[in-house]
Chains A and B, each alone.
Chain A
Amino acid sequence: MNGAHDMGGMHGFGPVVAEADEPWFHAEWERRVFGLTLALGASGAWNIDMSRSTREDRPPAEYLGMSYYELWLAGLERLLEGADVRRVLRAEEVPATLARGGPADRPPPRPARFATGDRVRTRNRHPRTHTRLPRYARDKVGVIELVHGCHVFPDTNALGLGEDPQWLYTVRFSALELWGRDEPASISVDAFEPYLEPA
């Protein structure tokens, strides 16, 4: 969805300001929201793409008016509506669960369409649902830099429509292509094969 979370290239947010002491959390409730989100995430009642989708899916003014962990809290509350939590993460399982993580790579269902060095154009697609191709990198020509294998496709996984594994590539664009400025800079995004066509 073309939401306020898709910030690349937006103007007006001002300078990047680092905090002096940089605490991880600014209130006890932020700690609990973080811990609850991870604990319940391990229950399998939803997947990481649903989590991201739920956090970003709100009117832009609302999204921008909320702090980071307020978005997590609102996302968690929404995910819990009607969720079927069957597995409860126990304290003793935490180290092994974190060490295992949740790998997103899957066996390839078909050969890769692109190879390193290929020129590709990102599709000019604007789904109203979750996607991971930022607006600034749509309908742009870039070069395949890395091929990562097949990964879970967030666009379907976020909707509960299955993992539908897709080839994942790092696509590199020049600053000229993205921003119209000929300067020594390039920007890469990780793009799934359905986002790309040959250029």
Chain B
Amino acid sequence: MGDDHSHLSETQIRVRALESALVERGLVDPAAVDALIETYESKVGPHNGARVVARAWTDPEYEQRLRADATAAIAELGYTGRQGEHMVAVFNTPQVHNMVVCTLCSCYPWPVLGLPPVWYKSAPYRSRAVSEPRAVLAEFGVQLPEETEIRVWDSTAEVRYLVVPMRPAGTEGWDEERLAGLVTRDAMIGTGLP
């Protein structure tokens, strides 16, 4: 897919005409469209996922529940619904590094991470994450020991994956909120480290 966003005016007109016609026919409530946009632009985002990870780092019983039934454990913190109906949490260890992709489209765990960044939806990531994950990670500045196993999860159905990175050394005694501040979006996709 091209990253060319230059046909804007023509497309803008086409979209306005489409929306006007739909509103006129009573098929769309424009306030609902506004609410949907606002939800994903300013409410849902990786800060949700960061709370899940920080809870798992500080509460071993929560970690167990996240391993056993991630959908239910994530719902405990209030994150449910669209594009997160069936969650699986995958845990990094010193031996295994997880990363997530959707080679066929752009599947992504919206309730915990919000909308995906453009690179996640782009042809370079979708084509290469499965076939040369180590090279892709290097482009993100993630250098792993040669013997570390990389596990790539291609989201080809309605199951959505959340990577739980390892808790960084030197954070003993930190509270959940401070730890959540370390957890980046990329760390929860698997293309970064906290």
Contact = CB atoms under 8 A, between A and B. Distances in A.
Given A9-B131, A24-B40, A29-B11, A19 B157 contact: no
A89 B1 contact: no
Contact of B28 (A88, A104, A152, A187): A88
B1 A151 contact: no
Contacts of B2: 64-67
B28 A16 contact: no
B156 A190 contact: yes
Interface stretch (B54-62, B98-106, B162-170, B174-182): B98-106
Given A8-B127, A28-B12, A67-B4, A190 B159 contact: yes
Given A14-B124, A16-B125, A27 B151 contact: no
A101 interface: yes
B156 A133 contact: yes
A8 B37 contact: no
Interface core residue of B35, B80, B151, B159 (most chain A CB under 10 Å)? B35
Interface in A148-199: 148, 151-152, 154, 168, 170, 172, 178-179, 183-192
A65 B157 CA distance: 26
Contact of A190 (B41, B148, B155): B155
A46 interface: no
A32 B3 CA distance: 18
B5 A36 contact: no
Given A24-B115, A38-B36, A32 B15 contact: yes
The main secondary structure of chain A at its interface with chain B is mixed
A55 to B, nearest CB: 7
Nearest to B90: A188
B88 interface: yes
B117 A22 contact: yes
A148 to B, nearest CB: 6
A57 interface: no
B68 interface: no
A89 B85 contact: no
Enumerate the 4 nearest inter-chain pairs by beta-carbon distance, A residue then B residue, closest first: A35-B33, A8-B103, A91-B31, A101-B81
Interface of A: 5-11, 13-19, 22, 24-29, 31-36, 38-40, 43, 52, 55-56, 63-68, 70-71, 73, 76-77, 80, 85, 88-91, 93-95, 97-105, 132-134, 136-137, 146, 148, 151-152, 154, 168, 170, 172, 178-179, 183-192
Interface of B: 1-5, 7-8, 11-12, 14-16, 18-19, 22, 26-29, 31-37, 39-41, 80-86, 88, 103-106, 114-115, 117-119, 121-131, 133-134, 136, 139-140, 146-159
21 contacts: A8-B126, A13-B124, A18-B118, A18-B119, A36-B19, A40-B28, A67-B1, A67-B3, A77-B18, A95-B39, A98-B36, A101-B83, A101-B84, A103-B85, A104-B85, A104-B158, A132-B104, A148-B157, A168-B159, A170-B159, A185-B134
